[in-house]
Structure 1
Amino acid sequence: MDIPNTYGLSEEDLDEVNDKLRQQNNFLEYSYISNDQTGQVFSLKECVISSNHNPDRYHAEIQNRINTLEREAKEEGLTPVFLTMTLPSEFHEMKHHNGELVANPRYNCTTPKEAVKILTKQWAKLRQDRSLKELDKLQRMYYRVNEPHKDGTPHTHILLFIPKNRIDRVESAFKRLFNRSGNKFEKNIRSAASYIMKYINKTLPLSKKEKLTETEHYLNAWFIKHRINRFCSSRSTAPIYLYRLVSHRYSLYALTQIRKGNTLQVFARMDNDKIMEIWDGDELLFARSENITLHTINEIQSNLQRYRTYKGKAA
């Protein structure tokens, strides 16, 4: 058995993740969507927005989301603060000793996936405090980034926009609810978007370069191995799944304003929640096409084999 390496992963873990990524990439590259009406054919990889398989588009979408959130916050007259939330020593499998990582005898065997859930509950605890709960949802906007320590234990960074006159009260609640060791509440943030993008860029190494360092490979694998979401945000902006369906018509900011006006109507199937139509008042923004067919690599190989068999019999 491999011993843990960077971010609590072994070389065996890294190989397993890389193999999974290769299989996913092969499926996306060799699967096609065809429009039975127009005859247009697209690789499935061209249509997917993914941190691993289409990182440039994914990064651009995240940047768009941050810019929209910051713009909304400014219009609401909100001020940014920055929170860092960590977990106590017993949640760390390894600890620092003389500049090296060694086994932590106090480790309580909490997995990174479970640890992220605990951090989420901690963040929810702060949101349920009266200092934040009393605010309208448009007066408490946030964007959250999950990230691992070197030993693989997660921590989280949160860019929070709130009214300026509420900052001291929220800070007091933060310090009352959480141990000050490792947990930070930062004020006087000059450029909110740049501040959070520093952490976003770190967790998306594939969007910045083609060749990763060994440490960056392990970092990317950590999210995949443990199935941990890199980011989440408040519901102040329009949901990304909705934006992707109408991005040809509206910017994320414009869609957010329409959504605030309560004129947006989304119709979905009752059996699987698949969105079929999106309307803005009397205007149809999106209608799901029934003329789209997905051709997978297995289907293509099967058809090719049948064709070869047919040609063999004909000969």
Structure 2
Amino acid sequence: MMHDNRGRKAPTPPPAFRDTKPAEPEWAYAWNAEREAVRPAEIPTYAEKHASEHQMYAQLAETARAYDMLDQQPDFIQRVVMGTITSLERSNGVKRANMYLTKNFVERIFPRLHLVNRQYRLEKQTADNINFHWMYNKLPDLSTKKIDALAEEIAQFIALELSKVSTEAEEQSLSDFKTAAAMFSRVKSIARELGQDLPLKDKKKLSLDDMTPIIARLYSPDWWKRKLRRQAAIWREHLYIAFGQVSKKTSAYASRKAILEWKEQRRRTREFLKSMELEDEEGNRISLIDKYDASVSNPAIRRCELMTRIRGFENICEALGYAGEFYTITAPSRYHATNVHGHRNPKWDGTSPSGTQKYLCNIWAKIRAKLARKEISIFGIRVAEPHQDGTPHWHMLMFMKPEHVETVRQVIADYAMEEDAYELRNDRARKARFHVEPIDPDKGSATGYIAKYISKNIDGFALDDETDDESGKPLREMAASVSAWAARWRIRQFQFIGGAPVTVYRELRKLDDSDTAQGLSVEFATAHFAAYWSDWAGYTNAQGGPFVKRNALAVKNWYESSEKLSAFGEEVVRIRGVYDTQVGSGCPIITRLVEWKIVPKRAVDLAVDLSGANATPWSSVNNCTGPGIGPQDGRTENDMPVSNLEKLTPKERRKLVKRVREQESQRRQQRRSLGIKRRFDPGVKPEIAEKMRDSARITLGIELSLNEIKSLLTGQVMHVGDIGFRGQSDGEIYHVPAAPSPLKKFMKLKQKYGPKDETEQQEMLRRHLQKNSQSEFKGGQ
């Protein structure tokens, strides 16, 4: 049977049921794809908004407070901190920079700076210091010129106050002693208000002769200049230590500024010594710099003398069968500004290196008294050297009887570890505080133990291959830093304990008359012979041995009072010779026969020889014209160049120019007669070269070569002594001002961009208050 569906087809069956979700369709365009519905914005509540604003205002207030704390610091601290903030802003953003200011500076650096500032600042204003309060608290930033101006003002104020006291004393008809006592009381109160201690002697009752020099010092501007300069230097260096600029990570032992100032001071001292001479009463002169280099002021001679003395002690030790010990004493951790890694020490209490030195001296005073009570004597040398943060510690090489070794070691250990004993929990901590090393002759001599420390603290001699344990740098390079540290804090680096005095030893070495020495006594002759031949052991034994008392010496220094008083009216007592104690001081041997005074060098001694190395002329121009010029070579006085043109009249100048031109004309004729032709460089015109030669002959008294003329025409500066000159294309020679030294450049920049003086600050404050008061008045209207 046929089925006719009339063109219709059966429908397609539905797809099978699927358990999984169909895949998302791929849209032709990204903008046509389905997106999630946009959620409405979350509106913060009032409490959340108030908390956020409170946090923002708190951060702003904290930042403002931090900047106020930063403004209280000296300018050199502010520059370092602001430089760090600027760097952090560029690299990590403002938030990170503000975090450094509010966290690192406020919580870590500012407390350390505050510990230092409160030791030097004038916290309270009184009637005696109100005029100097602001300027005195700016001492670390002041230049030398401003410090000297402040010293002048203080001295004038004290002089005015003393005049008032003197007037009142005259009205009351007081005696000289009571007048001096009233003046002394007044200057003492003023000095106390200015944070200065009086140079008092160890006396309970002062006489008129004791008070008068002190009063004279207090109204002397020079005395105040020295005190304030010293105060500014140690205050600045102490702040560098607190800030972390003195450590193994930055500059070990001393700040970079202190090292530069020490080197500059040494340079200036040597320049001064070179320009001065010693003159006796008969007019004989010797070079001051040569005398300086031949004395113990020379680091090399000083080192040799120290090594001679310690070697002599070792010879005495070997002869007597004594034992040697090497001790190291270190202060507790609260005296150290940074730890061994160069990071800030949170236990530091703000003590300066000089304060730590006083602590170590007090420790040694207790040790010495305890040994004296036990009737134990020792002798040797003590060396004070700095840690990397400037905190001093002691190395001691001591000799004693073998039976006293354990007792001495125990006494020193007890006093060295007495303070802050809670820190000494293990052997490592105890070794860091106090360490002892017996001298073993098999390992080396006693002198070898201490030689390294002596050389390191003087000039670094023979330490080229040695490395510093504190800074990790070569020891020879760190010798300058150690010397700068000792000079800045005035710490005595070397001190001998026991033995005979070295001043008598030096005076005996000046005595060349052995017959006179032998005519006094055997002891005197023995001491003189040993000192003359640098035998410290023999000299010490001749004086009475290593444990001799000062009142039992065989030879002593003889002092004589000078006829002239000091600048403050004090009697000047100087060493003039030595005497034998058995004979008495009435029969001294004079070792200083000639009285010398320091005078400037003569102009003839400072003349310049242009044929050799450059030298400094005495006058503003060069007085020399080279070798072979003078009457001995046929020239007359009229042929010699004039040294000072400023004193010449116009008529004399014209005569001088005419004479120079005639001489040059004669030279040209001589060259023509000999067939000599002057050669000129194609790039230099002959008339310009001749004009420049004439100008150099007249103004400088020298003869320029062709190469020198070419150098001058290219703009280069030539120097004759301290005079610089430059040529120009017109053939004239012009003086060039001397280039300022780096120190002068620094002072000029500091004066221009540094803190303003007190008058400018007061004027700015007055204008600010006047402006605010006018705006308030207008607002009130």
TM-score normalised by structure 2 residue count: 0.35
Q: Are 2:403 and 1:112 equivalent residues in the alignment?
A: no
Contact 1:49 1:58 in 2 (8 A): no
Contact 1:205 1:212 in 2 (8 A): no
Aligned pair partner of 1:240 in 493, 496, 502? 502
**Aligned mates of 1:231, 1:296 — CA distance in 2:** 34
Aligned pair partner of 2:271 in 23, 26, 31? 26
Contact 1:6 1:215 in 2 (8 A): no
Alignment of 1:99-178 (within 5 A): 100-130=341-371, 133-135=373-375, 139-178=377-416
* Residue 296 of structure 1: how far off its partner (Å): 4.3
Aligned pair partner of 1:275 in 559, 575, 597? 575
| Equivalent residue number for residue 287 of structure 1 | 591
| Equivalent residue number for residue 259 of structure 1 | 543
Q: Which amino acid aligns with 1:82?
A: F
* Residue 32 of structure 1: how far off its partner (Å): 1.5
Q: Percent identity?
A: 23
Post-superposition Cα deviations, 1:244-274, rounded to whole Å, max 9, x if no partner, equal: 2222452344433343274424321243331
SS in 2 for 1:95: coil
Higher relative contact order (CA closer than 8 Å, sequence separation 6+) = 1
Q: Which amino acid aligns with 2:362?
A: K
* Residue 49 of structure 1: how far off its partner (Å): 6.3
Aligned pair partner of 1:60 in 296, 304, 316? 304
The 3 A distance-change label for structure 1 pair 313 and 125 is farther
Q: Are 2:327 and 1:83 equivalent residues in the alignment?
A: yes
**Aligned mates of 2:389, 2:597 — CA distance in 1:** 45
The 3 A distance-change label for structure 1 pair 174 and 284 is closer
| Equivalent residue number for residue 254 of structure 2 | 9
Q: Kindly report the root-mean-square deviation, in angstroms, between the aligned alpha carbons of the 2 structures.
A: 3.4
**Aligned mates of 1:111, 1:50 — CA distance in 2:** 32
| Equivalent residue number for residue 437 of structure 2 | 186
Contact 1:144 1:231 in 2 (8 A): yes
Identify which range, 157-166 or 193-202, moves more after superposition: 193-202
Contact 1:45 1:54 in 2 (8 A): no
* Residue 162 of structure 1: how far off its partner (Å): 0.8
Aligned pair partner of 1:222 in 462, 485, 493? 485
Post-superposition Cα deviations, 1:114-168, rounded to whole Å, max 9, x if no partner, equal: 21121111122212224x54336xx411200011111211100001111101111
Give runs of ≥4 in structure 1 deviating > 4 Å.
48-51, 206-214, 281-285, 296-301, 311-315
> How many residues of Structure 1 are paired with residues of Structure 2 in the alignment?
304
Higher helix share: 2
**Aligned mates of 2:475, 2:439 — CA distance in 1:** 34
Contact 1:82 1:189 in 2 (8 A): no
SS in 1 for 2:318: helix
| Equivalent residue number for residue 318 of structure 2 | 74
Contact 1:159 1:196 in 2 (8 A): yes
The 3 A distance-change label for structure 1 pair 143 and 287 is same
Q: Which amino acid aligns with 1:123?
A: W
Q: Which amino acid aligns with 1:19?
A: E
Contact 1:32 1:296 in 2 (8 A): yes
SS in 2 for 1:128: helix
The 3 A distance-change label for structure 1 pair 287 and 193 is same
Q: Which amino acid aligns with 1:226?
A: W
* Residue 201 of structure 1: how far off its partner (Å): 1.6
* Residue 293 of structure 1: how far off its partner (Å): 2.7
**Aligned mates of 2:369, 2:328 — CA distance in 1:** 18
Aligned pair partner of 1:203 in 454, 457, 480? 457
* Residue 185 of structure 1: how far off its partner (Å): 1.9
The 3 A distance-change label for structure 1 pair 56 and 69 is same
SS in 2 for 1:247: helix
**Aligned mates of 1:208, 1:42 — CA distance in 2:** 30
* Residue 312 of structure 1: how far off its partner (Å): 4.3
The 3 A distance-change label for structure 1 pair 80 and 124 is same
The 3 A distance-change label for structure 1 pair 49 and 159 is farther
SS in 2 for 1:124: helix
Post-superposition Cα deviations, 1:196-247, rounded to whole Å, max 9, x if no partner, equal: 112112212354489986533322321122121210011313x223222222
Identify which range, 101-110 or 272-281, moves more after superposition: 272-281
SS in 2 for 1:170: helix
Contact 1:95 1:102 in 2 (8 A): yes
